[in-house]
Amino acid sequence: MPNEMIELTKRQAWKDLDSHFRNIRASSLRRLFADDPSRGERMAVQAEGIYFDYSKHLITGETIKLLIRLADESHIRDRIDAMFSGEKINVTEKRAVLHVALRAPKGKSIRVDGKNVVPEVHAVLDKMADFANRVRSGSWKGYTGKPIRNVINIGIGGSDLGPVMAYEALRHYSKRDMTFRFVSNVDGTDFAEATQDLSPEETLFIISSKTFTTLETMTNAHTAREWTLRSLKQDSAVAKHFVAVSTNEKEVAKFGIDTANMFGFWDWVGGRYSMDSAIGLSTMIAIGPEHFRSMLDGFHKMDEHFRTAPFERNLPVIMGLLGIWYNNFFGAQTAAVLPYEQYLKRFPAYLQQLTMESNGKHVTREGKAVDYQTGPIYWGEPGTNGQHSFYQLIHQGTKLIPCDFIAFLKPLNQLGRHHDLLIANVFAQSEALAFGKTPEEVKAEGTPDWLIPHRTFEGNRPSTTILIESLTPEALGKLVALYEHSVFTQGAIWDIDSFDQWGVELGKALAVRIIPELEKEPSAGLQHDSSTNTLIRKYIGSRK
Ligand code: G6Q
């Protein structure tokens, strides 16, 4: 941590941004575009196959200059180098943060405590590839000799959201004669529905848990074992129908999974940064090792871009800085992610964890309360569906919501006019949000006076448009890494630990006290508050 780090709101660039904000607020996107006819081409970056148009933001060239100065004054370059060189930048857990090592090519060297971790990463990838090929080809047989047709990933949080998102995103490339499902919730319905039409003889469970102690995952894993053994009878069937992805060999063995069928990762991989580790085993079985490696290649290309590109052309840095601009100066409370691509339907949910678990923090790395806003609320839905529901508020509500529109030039399913219509919609939305419709324009359409205010759109609502050639595994890797590093940039500016999750740990501990009170009649009186005591009694009473 550089010693000379000045508190965020005392940095000169912050103060300059604060006064600059007052000028910008008085401006409008209509005026900014009219004053600079080449704005739409100038305020865009093409890098790593991504066209990133940020011209429809409430900014000028000066804003970008000041934001980059803020990045410099926040020592972002040093922070990036610290992450890539394996320094323990997760200060509260005293851990390195090296998801970038998961996609480093063979031959690179990244050291943690003096040891190069890249060879271990590739050893696990090779083991995964061998296993994935055996399952895909049918040479891995279930206990009764039948090939595996169904794969169920059991995990939660970082051990679920990445695998689900990646499977859905890359479904086009998946093995269509196999079924992939994901069970995460401790609500028994999740397991029941995922398995009700499957045969245990043909089903493989991947128990994905970094710690192998998470309540939800272990409960579902035990239920899966009972479900399997109810049909297959013999304990030895477990070895053929269960594999584990974990860092905890002892617990995996205790569960009865052969540790030869355990795929490891390391404490320097955070849960929400783990979809490209062995946690991605279900993805690899679905799309095959080659596609998986090309996804890793995409991640790595974005890593290198982030590490080396000057900030004014650095996609994650620009994206992160624009987020700071709205969050901290305009007071925006949320950010919307709107992929115009059905395969990315779980991408907003995935990003919610990545962004909000990483940057939802209230103290600096040194433990001091922040006096500025940190991470915004992320949310979204794929277009065009969102247009017929919540876009109303984005267009005409009282809240400023910066949007990321994500679209692909070439569709994976070419069906008549569908893609032209889809893309026309995404372009029309960002245009309408930016420029709105004036009362004069509404009147000129023949609207009666009383209706004009209702049909007027203020405009000035900012968005980024991200255009990518097509949704390939490599493109997905780049897109995810773009957001990962944008989150990093923001966390570094806010001076928070983006890599711990004490709020999640609390959730893991809380229920433990109540479980025994529900399962057996509490001998002593309940010791909670009067609301919680009553709720518990009601639940117990309902069973009598
Ligand atoms: C992610 C969090 C959290 C975690 C889950 C599952 O960054 O740490 O979402 O991934 O709680 O944990 P396990 O993988 O240990 O079961």
Q: What is the pLDDT of residues 164-204, one digit of tens each?
A: 999 999 999 999 999 999 999 999 999 999 999 999 999 99
Ligand 1, atom 7, residue with closest C-alpha: 271
463/24 Cα distance (integer angstroms): 16
Residues 162 and 279 sit within 8 Å (Cβ to Cβ) = yes
Q: How high is the pLDDT of residue 1?
A: 47
C-alpha to C-alpha distance for 166 and 168, rounded to whole angstroms: 5
Mean pLDDT of the region 156-165? 98
Burial of 201 from C-beta contacts in 10 A (0-12 / 13-18 / 19+)? buried
Confidence at residue 4, expressed as pLDDT on a 0 to 100 scale: 63
- Residue 186 Cβ contacting ligand 1 at under 6 Å: no
Our answer on whether the CB atom of 270 is closer than 6 Å to any ligand 1 atom is yes
DSSP SS3 for 405: strand
Ligand 1 contacts CB of residue 99 (under 6 A): no
Question: Rounded mean pLDDT of 30-43?
Answer: 97
Nearest alpha-carbon partner for 319 in 465, 161, 470: 465
Lowest mean pLDDT among 64-73, 74-83, 257-266, 524-533: 524-533
Contact 490, 74 (CB under 8 A): no
394 backbone dihedrals φ, ψ, rounded to 5°? -65, -40
Is 508 noted as a catalytic residue in this protein?
Answer: yes
pLDDT band for position 533 (cuts 50, 70, 90):
very high
Average pLDDT of span 383-393: 96
Give yes or no for residue 3 having a pLDDT over 90.
Answer: no
Question: Which of 55, 74, 56 has its CA nearest to residue 17?
Answer: 74
Which amino acid type is present at position 508?
A: K
Mean pLDDT of 24-32: 95
Q: Is 504 in the pocket of ligand 1 (CB under 6 A)?
A: yes
* Protein residue with least CA distance to atom 5, ligand 1: 157
Residue 273: predicted pLDDT: 98
Reduced to 3 states, what is the DSSP secondary structure of residue 178?
coil
Mutating to test ligand 1, I would choose from 97, 211, 252 the residue with most ligand atoms within 8 A of its C-beta, which is 211
Q: Whose CA is nearest to atom 9 of ligand 1?
A: 157
Q: How many CA atoms lie within 13 A of 351 on its CB side?
A: 28
CB under 8 Å to 296, separation ≥6 — which residues? Answer: 102, 103, 125, 276, 477
| Ligand 1 pocket member 365 (CB < 6 A) | no
What whole-number distance in Å separates Cα of residue 80 and Cα of residue 72?
12
253 close to ligand 1 (CB < 6 Angstrom):
no
pLDDT at 512: 86
**Mean pLDDT across the stretch 150-176?**
98
Place of tokens 């009878």: 233
Q: Could you tell me the distance, in angstroms and rounded to a whole number, from the CA of residue 156 to the centre of ligand 1? A: 6
Q: Exactly one of 357, 381, 474, 484 is catalytic; which is it? A: 357
Count the Cβ atoms, other than its own, within 10 Å of residue 111: 14
pLDDT of residue 510: 81
pLDDT of 2 strictly over 60: no
Residue owning the nearest CA to atom 16 of ligand 1? 209
Q: Is the CB of 456 under 6 A from ligand 1?
A: no
Indicate if ligand 1 lies below 6 Å from the C-beta of 210: yes
Query: What's residue 543's pLDDT?
Result: 84
From the list 94, 388, 538, 544, the catalytic residue is 388
The mean pLDDT value for 50-70 works out to 98
Q: 215 CB less than 6 Å from ligand 1? A: no
Q: How far is CA 419 from the centre of its chain?
A: 26
What pLDDT sits at residue 507? 81
Catalytic residue among 108, 175, 345, 508: 508
Reported as a pLDDT band with limits 50, 70 and 90, residue 523 is low
- Ligand 1: nearest atom to the Cα of 272: 7
Q: Rounded distance, CA 23 to CA 34, Å? A: 17
Residue 511 Cα to ligand 1 midpoint, Å, equals: 16
Question: What six digits make up the tokens of 120?
Answer: 């271990």
Q: Is 357 a catalytic residue?
A: yes
